[in-house]
Copies of this chain bind each other. A is one copy, B any other.
């Protein structure tokens, strides 16, 4: 702001007064609407608007046109490398489609999901990409009501409820957990732990169910101390190291990269090595820039595809808000690197 001359915004009326033509005519010109006004007058009005630093009041315009060309992304944790990569990609895809993207961070809190969704709805964004907080899995009915009461289109991204009828794009989490564990079993491991977020019916729980499925299929026991609950954050992976080392397992499937990072740090501090002392499979494939010695076998969730499909779905909804909701479940992909060591195969 530049001193007191800007206290008041320039209005169409101010411009009309200076140009000596009607407010309606100025509005038509500045909104590039067809009108029977001389090119000379058009030029003059645009020049005055520029000189006076006229900014279209998009809030006022949005009230009329109902279009803000802005979308929002509800983000659970801006510091999680998977989500920051996804946010960046989504933003690029939206921009290519002529939309700005704003982010809001919920810190994985149900209360914030509620408040921020209401705020975004009322603030006139055209649509919302929702990555719900993990906490919201515990409030299915309330969360569902809240989302269904939105007045604008939304796409659930990465996280959703199985039985929720809405536009959504996410990965098959049980399949990812299953394939990761199956790979460890095929490499000869029999004592395998799983660090997961117990999020009721969320992605963490589904990945753990995939682990259970693979273990059961192979007739391998899941001892009580094989299942370790974390919260998808660094510290919970770090804290899991002692119990994993005491459990006597030879391998561990960790259900997200942030927990893996904490786990690897704790392991390093105990003087233990991957894969010599313990084999690790992780989930997300967002760490390859950060890790040197350890090349992490991991379940990749392709952020480019997730972002592209979500954006496409949003564009379809914006074109036709009453089209039938689509559900798209993407396949995760196991990427095999050197964080798993081959055990003597008893079946061999």
Contacts and interface: CB of A to CB of B under 8 A. Distances in A.
Interface in A115-167: 115-116, 118-119, 121-124, 148-154
A101 interface: yes
Nearest to A100: B119
A68 B123 contact: yes
Interface string A279-296: 000000000011011000
Nearest to A80: B84
A219 interface: no
A103 B105 contact: yes
Chain A interface main SS type: mixed
Contacts of A346: none
A79 B79 CA distance: 8
A257 to B, nearest CB: 11
A189 B59 CA distance: 59
A78 interface: yes
A200 interface: no
A163 B199 CA distance: 51
Interface stretch (A1-9, A222-230, A240-248, A327-335): A1-9
A220 interface: no
Nearest to A269: B292
Contacts of A59: 59, 62-63, 122-124
Nearest to A234: B289
A53 B102 contact: no
Given A59-B124, A290-B290, A292-B265, A149 B105 contact: no
B70 A78 contact: no
A292 B268 contact: yes
A92 B106 CA distance: 10
A46 interface: no
A201 interface: no
Contact of A122 (B4, B56, B88, B321): B56
A289 to B, nearest CB: 6
Given A68-B123, A102-B104, 7 more contacts: A55-B118, A59-B123, A78-B91, A79-B81, A87-B105, A102-B103, A265-B292
20 contacts: A1-B152, A1-B153, A1-B321, A2-B148, A4-B322, A9-B151, A55-B118, A56-B122, A59-B59, A59-B62, A59-B63, A72-B102, A78-B78, A78-B84, A78-B91, A92-B107, A101-B104, A102-B103, A234-B289, A268-B292
